Amino acid sequence: MKFFIDTADVEEIRKLAKTGMVDGVTTNPTLIAKSGRKIMDVIAEICDVVPGPISAEVTATETEGMLKEGRKLAAIAKNVAVKLPLTVDGLTACKTLRDAGTMVNVTLCFSAAQALLAAKAGATFISPFVGRLDDIGQDGMELISDICQIYSQYPELETEVLVASVRHPVHVVQAAKMGAHVATLPPAILRQMYNHPLTDKGLAAFLADWAKTGQSIL
């Protein structure tokens, strides 16, 4: 499974990229707004830090506007994936951009039927929002299971399942067991994945035993 980081904080991305765990980055207008910077500058800088797919979202709602913005975003760097909403206009723009060789991340997916349409439009990634479904009393991970099952029936569909709106490490593990290709994580969630109390306890015991020997490796 690939890990994308869901943030527009370039310094945070730099820190996490050094761990070797970051395969890509997802951004959106909300995250860009929090950065207080211009979207083109932020995306360009992130593309320099992480060589994998960097999702940059359009703000237009009609096909022609999406195409104009998408082409401008795609011109920033070869690893930009234009992020489009799962609407009729969005999927129409997706088909055109994909035919031109641009990566596309179709976002705001909340049903398996929508995911099937996105795959037929040639989306590089489909982003189902599991946390937002959980918030309204639905099982977000059931959607991931359905999409993975449907896609597996049709090898000609090359769209990768990118699990979004991840709220905790359990979402990541469940998605990996289902065969999802990517999880996009807030930085805090990625850091949580390292933690286990028995790891801390074991390390403390090892260090205490080593101290008793009075030795030094260096």
Q: Give the three-state DSSP class for 85.
A: strand
Q: Which residues contact 207 (CB under 8 A, 6 or more apart)?
A: none
Mean pLDDT, the chain, as a whole number? 97
d(CA 46, CA 27): 10
CA dist 205 and 190 (Å) reads 26
Average pLDDT of span 206-214: 96
pLDDT in tens, 144-168: 999 999 999 999 999 999 999 999 9
pTM for this model (two decimals): 0.95
Active site residues: 83
**Contact (Cβ atoms closer than 8 angstroms) between residue 214 and residue 34:** no
Across the chain, which distance is largest between two alpha carbons, in Å? 71
Q: To which CATH superfamily is domain 2-213 assigned?
A: Aldolase class I (3.20.20.70)
Q: Give the domain ranges of the chain.
A: 2-213
> Token match 């761990």: residue?
19
- Cα angle at 59 between 78 and 141, to 5 degrees? 80
How far, rounded to the nearest angstrom, does the alpha carbon of residue 123 sit from its chain's CA centroid? 14
| pLDDT for res 139 | 97
Summarize pLDDT for 123-137 with one digit per residue, the tens.
999 999 999 999 999
Residues 9-56 have pLDDT tens digits of 999 999 999 999 999 999 998 999 988 899 999 999 999 999 999 999
Q: How far, in whole angstroms, is CA 52 from its chain's centroid?
A: 11
